[in-house]
């Protein structure tokens, strides 16, 4: 395979998943670790990707890029499903629960349909629809107002105002990116601010984030990793990242995908 063909495949994978690991590319392309790193260096030199620990990610100029819900729903499906099951196991009957927007949090909602007496506050239209249409036990679903984003979130001053004075037992929070220094970040300022309002309304914070989110830094920080009580990720996250996260969050749960 020619270098330009390999590099196009790398670009395609980064565009699809947001980030890609060197070890995965070595296996997929059938070339050496050194060859993959050389390809990533060339792409980074042209500004097409950012070099990150263990791989490549969308360039920082893409920190404001926000794929739509339908696009993100096709990415990392097995990992997100495993994460959703592990996260749902942390939810107790009778809880007051916040759920932010996102495809992983939507999958968590599908796992909550049989948990009784939940009161759910969400700014996610897909989450609200899932719980309203398909729940099989008594639940209360409250949807904030606000302006709709590409990720089908309701955000902005109306959403923030709706969350003032709300006290939630647990927040299930999806993220665009997570980084040891930048924390939990998002590309949409209004959505990040709405997520911050959800965080401030919640006694415990549970973050759901698959391995592709690691090392991704978007425009604005919603929270530091040290604010997270539980982080649920998947087993494709490399050991070095796991060690860093375990030292920052209250509890790290790695779900088998």
User: 159: Cβ–Cβ under 8 A, 6 or more apart, which residues?
Assistant: 123, 144, 145, 146, 194, 197
Other CB atoms within 10 Å distance of the CB of residue 83? 29
Backbone angles phi, psi at 56, to 5 degrees: -140, 155
Does the structure show a pLDDT above 70 at 60? no
Tens digit of each residue's pLDDT (9 = 90 or more) over 174-203: 999 999 999 999 988 899 999 999 999 999
Query: What is residue 8's predicted lDDT score, i.e. its pLDDT?
Result: 81
Name which of 37-41, 93-97, 133-137, 235-239 the model is least confident about.
Answer: 133-137
Tens digit of each residue's pLDDT (9 = 90 or more) over 80-107: 999 999 999 999 999 999 999 999 999 9
Does the structure show a pLDDT above 60 at 61? no
Q: What domains does the chain contain, in order, with CATH numbers?
A: 3-58 (1.10.10.10), 69-255 (3.40.50.1360)
Does the structure show a pLDDT above 70 at 135? yes
Sign, Cα dihedral of 244, 246, 249, 254: positive
Query: What is residue 164's predicted lDDT score, i.e. its pLDDT?
Result: 93
Backbone angles phi, psi at 190, to 5 degrees: -70, -35
Rounded distance between C-alpha atoms, residue 210 and residue 249, angstroms:
15
Which range, 66-80, 133-147, 193-207, has the best average confidence (pLDDT)?
Answer: 193-207
End-to-end CA distance of the chain: 30
């Amino acid at each position: 395979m020619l270098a330009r063909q390999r590099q196009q495949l790398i670009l395609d994978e980064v565009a699809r998943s947001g980030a890609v690991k060197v070890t995965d590319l070595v296996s997929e392309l059938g070339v050496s670790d050194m060859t993959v790193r050389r390809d990533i260096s060339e792409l980074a030199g042209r500004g097409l990707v950012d070099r990150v620990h263990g791989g490549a990610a969308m360039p920082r100029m893409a920190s404001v890029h926000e794929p739509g819900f339908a696009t993100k729903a096709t990415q990392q499906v097995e990992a997100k499903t495993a994460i959703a099951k592990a996260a749902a196991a942390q939810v107790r009957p009778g809880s007051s629960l916040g759920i932010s927007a996102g495809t992983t949090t939507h999958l968590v909602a599908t796992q909550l349909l049989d948990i009784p007496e939940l009161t759910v506050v969400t700014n996610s239209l897909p989450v609200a629809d899932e719980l309203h249409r398909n729940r099989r036990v008594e639940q209360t679903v409250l949807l904030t107002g606000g302006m709709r984003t590409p990720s089908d979130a309701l955000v902005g001053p109306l959403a923030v105002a709706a969350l003032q004075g709300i006290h939630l037992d647990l927040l299930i929070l999806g993220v665009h990116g997570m980084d040891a220094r930048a924390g939990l970040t998002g590309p949409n300022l209004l959505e990040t601010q709405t997520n911050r309002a959800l965080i401030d309304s919640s006694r415990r914070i549970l973050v759901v984030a698959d391995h592709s989110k690691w090392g991704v830094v978007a425009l604005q920080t919603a929270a530091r990793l040290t604010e997270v009580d539980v982080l649920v990720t998947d087993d494709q996250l490399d050991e070095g990242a796991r060690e860093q996260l375990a030292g920052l969050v209250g509890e790290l749960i790695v779900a088998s995908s």
